DNA sequence: TATATACTATACAGTTCTGTATACTTTATA
DNA sequence: TATAAAGTATACAGAACTGTATAGTATATA
């Protein structure tokens, strides 16, 4: 992958999070990335394609990071689900955290037929299924039900953190998650 | 208040929810409302002012409806907090529900200095305080902590419902809320 | 009946946005 | 060293957007 393509993706991710997707023009993106529109449109045929790739990379980065953290933490499935919100807290409270792409994108593109909304919805579902896998491996009775509840806490906490940086909401999500996990057996 | 001002507010609320705020032009609004831009700008000096009034009215309608429901349901505070998510479910699963304005608006205007973001953030805080008041009246030990956790479930469930209409997420939020409320005493 | 008010209709200024066309420059490589 | 690929610089078409100017119509009321 090209150095400039990466730079465009990185700058777009940042600007979409801090200014909003529709409010960020490609002229701004190339100016900040230090390149030109011709180069941007060489790598991304349309702005929509750029948005979709930004979302894919963001979610992939998060999932990869989380998976690695959980994998190197413990081999016992029961521990892993308990540690889930500890790592989520670490991710969300990191200074570089600016929000979750799929949550903001789904709000900005509310039509369920829109490709950007569809991808956002898919990423939300995939993360829920990831939690469900953790719950299943931890031999939790109704794993899918717990996973959905935990995903609500996660998305709610991210929403709260996007609303007010440093809200501390994730601390309460963690407390609530522990109660729900412990009560699910 | 004028008939046309109401109509403009009503149409704007609907279009902002279904197409997004930035993606909805005033030309579209007046066309659907059956009026003209001159009339719109007579009642709302800028589009931002219109957005702010739409948010205020939406939240006021929700709060008024919820408060009336809870007030006419039971006089016992312990019952009211248990019924909270039943009424939230009724609201969210109603066919006319298209989303919560302050959640979508805060995503579309992510800058915390933006007046629209500020109002969204304020409304989120006020709703949390409303839950806290219910929890306090129900003599719950750490009412603020529970209220914050319940607000995460609420915002997460709304987010999920906005992502996929008819997701049923609110049912799981209700289940989780019951566990948290019962465990908070 | 005269007058203020509410509203319509429409054109338009000025900006911003996406996407492309065109001509030039730099760099890697065969 | 010749050639292809990558990137720059810039102008521009065409659309969409906010907000205003201007002139006219309908209606209520004094």
Tens digit of each residue's pLDDT (9 = 90 or more) over B2-13: 999 999 999 999
CATH for A1-45?
1.10.10.60
> Which pLDDT value is given to residue A74?
82
Q: For residues A106 and A124, what is the distance between their CA atoms, to the nearest angstrom?
A: 10
B84: nearest Cα among B133, B124, B139: B133
A110/B108 Cβ within 8 A = no
CATH fold of the domain at B54-183: Tetracycline Repressor; domain 2 (1.10.357)
Q: What's the CA angle centered on B164, arms B159 and B170, to 5 degrees?
A: 55
> Which pLDDT value is given to residue A185?
76
Q: What is the mean pLDDT of residues B16-26?
A: 98
Of A residues 8-37, those with CB within 7 angstroms of nucleic strand C are 23-28, 37
> Which pLDDT value is given to residue B1?
64
**Partner B contacted by A144 (CB < 8 A):** no
Q: Is the C-alpha dihedral spanning B132, B133, B138, B143 positive or negative?
A: positive
Each domain of chain B, given as residue ranges in start order, spans 1-45, 54-183
The mean of the pLDDT values for chain B is 97
Q: How far is the CA of A29 from the C1' of C12 (A)?
A: 31
> Which pLDDT value is given to residue B158?
98
A26: nearest Cα among A12, A13, A42, A14: A12
Q: What is the mean pLDDT of residues A71-78?
A: 90
Top-level CATH class of A48-182?
A: mainly alpha
Residue whose entry in the numeric block shows the structure tokens 């019952």: B79
Q: Is B1-45's fold the same as B54-183's? A: no
Q: How far is the CA of B50 from the C1' of C9 (A)?
A: 23
Beta-carbon count within 10 A of A8 CB: 25
b/e for A80-113, b at 16 or more Cβ within 10 A? Answer: bbbebbebbbebbeeeebbbbbbbbbbbbbbeee
Q: How confident is the model at residue A75 (pLDDT cuts 50, 70, 90)?
A: confident
> Which pLDDT value is given to residue A152?
98
Tell me the shortest Cα–Cα distance from B78 to chain A, in angstroms.
20
Terminal alpha carbon distance of chain A: 47
> Which pLDDT value is given to residue A160?
98
Which nucleotides in chain C have some atom under 7 angstroms from a protein Cβ? 6-11, 16-23
Q: What is the mean pLDDT of residues B136-152?
A: 97
Nearest CB among A19, A173, A183 relative to B110 is that of A19
Instruction: Give the residue from chain A lying closest to B121, CA to CA.
Output: A163
A11: nearest Cα among A33, A27, A26: A33
Q: What is the mean pLDDT of residues A122-151?
A: 98
Q: Indicate if the pLDDT at residue B117 is higher than 90.
A: yes
Task: Enter the tokens of residue B94.
Answer: 């109603």
The residue among A47, A103, A110, A144 with the most chain B CBs within 10 A of its CB, best to mutate, is A110
Q: Indicate if the pLDDT at residue B64 is higher than 90.
A: yes
Q: Indicate if the pLDDT at residue B185 is higher than 90.
A: no
Q: For residues A184 and A132, what is the distance between their CA atoms, to the nearest angstrom?
A: 13
Q: How confident is the model at residue A1 (pLDDT cuts 50, 70, 90)?
A: low
Q: For residues B179 and A183, what is the distance between their CA atoms, to the nearest angstrom?
A: 8
Q: What is the mean pLDDT of residues B49-60?
A: 98
């Amino acid at each position: 992958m090209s150095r400039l393509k990466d730079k465009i993706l990185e700058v777009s991710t940042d600007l979409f999070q801090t200014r909003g997707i529709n409010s960020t023009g490609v002229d701004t993106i190339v100016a900040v990335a230090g390149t030109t529109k011709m180069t941007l449109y060489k790598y991304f045929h349309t702005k929509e394609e750029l948005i979709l790739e930004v979302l894919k990379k963001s979610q992939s980065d998060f999932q990869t990071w989380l998976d690695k953290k959980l994998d190197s933490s413990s081999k016992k499935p029961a521990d892993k689900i308990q540690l889930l919100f500890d790592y989520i807290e670490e991710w969300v409270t990191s200074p570089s955290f600016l929000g979750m792409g799929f949550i903001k994108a789904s709000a900005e593109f509310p039509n369920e037929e829109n490709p950007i909304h569809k991808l956002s919805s898919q990423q939300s579902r995939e993360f829920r299924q990831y939690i469900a896998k953790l719950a299943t491996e931890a031999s939790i009775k109704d794993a899918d039900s717990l996973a959905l509840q935990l995903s609500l806490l996660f998305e709610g906490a991210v929403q709260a953190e996007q609303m007010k940086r440093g809200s501390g909401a994730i601390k309460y999500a963690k407390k609530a998650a522990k109660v729900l996990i412990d009560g699910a057996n």
